Amino acid sequence: MPTGGVCASDQGNFDQPRVKLVVKRNMQAEFITMRNLQHAICSAAAVFAAATAQAENARLQLPVTVVEPRIAPYEAFCNRKPHACRLKGTTVIPMDKGLMGVLEQVNTDTNDDIGFALDRDIHGAEDFWTLPDSGYGDCEDIALEKRKRLTQLGYPTAAMRLALVFHDRHMSSHCVLTIETDSGTFLMDSQDDRVLRWDRSPYHFESRERIDGLWDRFDQADWWSENGRGAP
């Protein structure tokens, strides 16, 4: 992890274009030749494969190379405030318009309420994790605050886990809150008021919190694979 803690102060958004699949059917044909039938079967198989891949990509499921303890600054925070680190309840929240509205509102409100400031300027330390009660904090503090606010609204902490990421262009370290839903894994980000699905974000995922308190570290070689955001 780079010196200076998890967060970087540079801002930037990256919109990944969505791909829409369109299936065309010829309802006027009265006779289907074997060639047309084979073409139809192949087309249907391709659409099914694409839909299956899209469903699989909706959830954050990357190859894990090692399971490791919390990093020291987060462990220190959990020792000070153990209730803020207990992940309990259901691990997946049903997605609907109501949930997305809540996520977007909490994300925007928290980003507005908490001013960005580096740990060394607030706490005199390179990396100090805490709730931003002073009204100032960096990325992990803001992510913790969002989890606290959602918990107060009754959402289960087991479905809200922290993740350490890198921006795919700036390669700057960052922390986001992931929300696990039955429609995919969504991100609440201090650098973006939008609530994006993980695979439509500008990030490569280094590691993510597990409900048992440990962290999954992901295969970094996958960053530049076909499942990543493209070659450097």
Q: What confidence score (pLDDT) does residue 95 get? A: 95
Q: What confidence score (pLDDT) does residue 50 get? A: 40
Average pLDDT, the chain: 80
By the 8 A CB rule, do 147 and 179 touch? no
How many CB atoms are located within 10 Å of the residue 183 CB?
A: 17
Q: How far apart (Å, rounded) are the C-alpha atoms in residues 99 and 155?
A: 10
Instruction: Judge whether residue 42 has pLDDT over 90.
Output: no
Take residue 129 and report the two structure tokens written for it. 């994790």
Phi, psi of 177 (to 5 degrees): -100, 125
| Mean pLDDT of the region 178-193 | 97
Take residue 35 and report the two structure tokens written for it. 């060639």
Q: How far apart (Å, rounded) are the C-alpha atoms in residues 178 and 158?
A: 10
Take residue 163 and report the two structure tokens written for it. 């993740």
Take residue 208 and report the two structure tokens written for it. 């993510």
